[in-house]
Structures are given as C-alpha cells and as structure tokens.
C-alpha cells in the first residue's frame, strides 16, 4: 500500500526513495532534501504530477502598460523632476568662471547657470546653491547639491514643500529677466 516515499501511489512512482543523499544526511532528512531538489529542478514534472501550474501566468498586463503610460505622461518634463521620496530635483548645467551669476538657458535636459566663482575648492558649488536659493526664494539650507560635486552636470535637491511647476516658473522668470 503506497510507495516508500509515502505518496500513496502503489506503482510507477518516480520520486526518490528514502536513503542517503549527497549531503550526507541519511533516512527521512536525506530523502526530503533529495525530494525537494528533484522537484525544484523539474517544475514541468511537478506540474504534470500535481495537475497545477507552478508559476501562474501574469494577468492584467494591459492594465500595467496603461499605468506606466499614464505615469510617463504625468511626470514633469524638462530639467525639474520629482524623485521617489517626493523631493523636487533640478538638473543644472553649471558654467563657472562667469562675470555674474545668471540663468543662461533652460533646455529639456538642464538649466544652464553661469556662476561667478572659479571651479576650485567647491567655491562654484557654494555660489550655485546661494544663487539658486535667491532665485527660488528659499533658504540655502533648503537646497542640497545632490549629485555632481565635481562635474558641470549637477542635480540640486529642494528639501521643502514646493511644487515642480512652481520651481520651473521661478527659474523661467529668472531666465527671462537676465
């Protein structure tokens, strides 16, 4: 009545029999390890034996595609973005060594900012944060140089409740007045 592996099949069972395993465990522990190993290595046989699918097919694929499309459409375009934590990020193309601080241009990739400080010892970064704080009407402590401390391509993180639209508007106004 039943096979040695306790599956209750009288004949034709292909599951491994209890006995020593490659892990050096004997008896029931060895057979359990061997049984698990054989089942994990052959999911199709497991599906056939149990009569179910081991990995169900993904459902709602169209729904996920529509959600992704909506999130792409609703994401702010241009140099002002929102990260996963909800903070506003501004992509900057720094131009150190200029005569005066100014926003020179706004493209889809970054805001061009001329900085009246040399690119040495972090002077340009400090001047950039001070100038952006003035333009955005924020405290210097509310702006952080998030990426690009030694590069002309920088990302500034705004740590206050200010919408991306408002940041974009203030930067645009500063760009027009220069």
CA pair distance 47, 2, nearest whole angstrom: 21
pTM for the full predicted model: 0.58
What count of other Cβ atoms lies within 10 Å of the Cβ of residue 128?
A: 23
In whole numbers, what is the pLDDT of the chain averaged over residues? 77
Compute the Cα dihedral for 137, 140, 142, 146 and give only its sign: positive
pLDDT reported for residue 148 = 94
CA pair distance 168, 178, nearest whole angstrom: 16
What's the rounded mean pLDDT across residues 155-161?
Answer: 93
Contacts of 127 (CB under 8 A, 6+ apart): 101, 115, 116, 117
- Ramachandran assignment for 97, one of left (phi > 0), alpha (psi -120 to 50 degrees), beta (any other): left
pLDDT reported for residue 86 = 87
Residue 58: helix, strand or coil by DSSP?
Answer: coil
Which residue, 125, 159, 161, is CA-closest to 142?
Answer: 159
Answer whether residue 1 shows pLDDT above 50.
no
Tens digit of pLDDT for each residue in 81-120?
A: 998 888 999 999 999 999 999 999 999 999 999 999 999 8
Which residue, 70, 73, 90, 59, is CA-closest to 165?
Answer: 90
CA pair distance 170, 150, nearest whole angstrom: 26
CA pair distance 163, 175, nearest whole angstrom: 19
Pairing of strands 111-115, 80-82: unpaired
pLDDT reported for residue 62 = 53
CA pair distance 42, 81, nearest whole angstrom: 47
Residues 88 and 168: beta-carbon distance below 8 Å: no
Q: Which pLDDT band, with edges at 50, 70 and 90, does 55 fall under?
A: low
Answer whether residue 170 shows pLDDT above 80.
yes
Answer whether residue 25 shows pLDDT above 50.
no
CA pair distance 18, 32, nearest whole angstrom: 8
């Amino acid at each position: 009545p039943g096979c040695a592996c306790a599956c209750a099949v009288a004949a034709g069972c292909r599951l491994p029999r209890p006995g020593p395993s490659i892990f050096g465990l004997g008896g029931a522990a060895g057979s359990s390890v061997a049984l698990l190993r054989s089942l994990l290595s052959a999911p199709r046989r497991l599906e056939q034996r149990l009569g179910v699918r081991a990995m169900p097919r993904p459902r709602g694929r169209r729904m996920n595609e529509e959600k992704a499309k909506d999130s792409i459409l609703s994401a702010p375009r241009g140099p002002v973005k929102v990260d996963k934590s909800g903070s506003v990020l501004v992509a900057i193309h720094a131009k150190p060594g200029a005569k005066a601080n100014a926003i020179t241009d706004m493209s889809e990739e970054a805001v061009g900012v001329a900085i009246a400080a040399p690119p040495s010892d972090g002077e340009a970064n400090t001047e950039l944060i001070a100038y952006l704080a003035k333009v955005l009407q924020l405290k210097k402590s509310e702006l952080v140089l998030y990426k690009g401390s030694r590069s002309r391509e920088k990302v500034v993180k705004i740590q206050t409740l200010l919408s991306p639209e408002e940041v974009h508007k203030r930067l645009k106004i500063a760009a027009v007045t220069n």
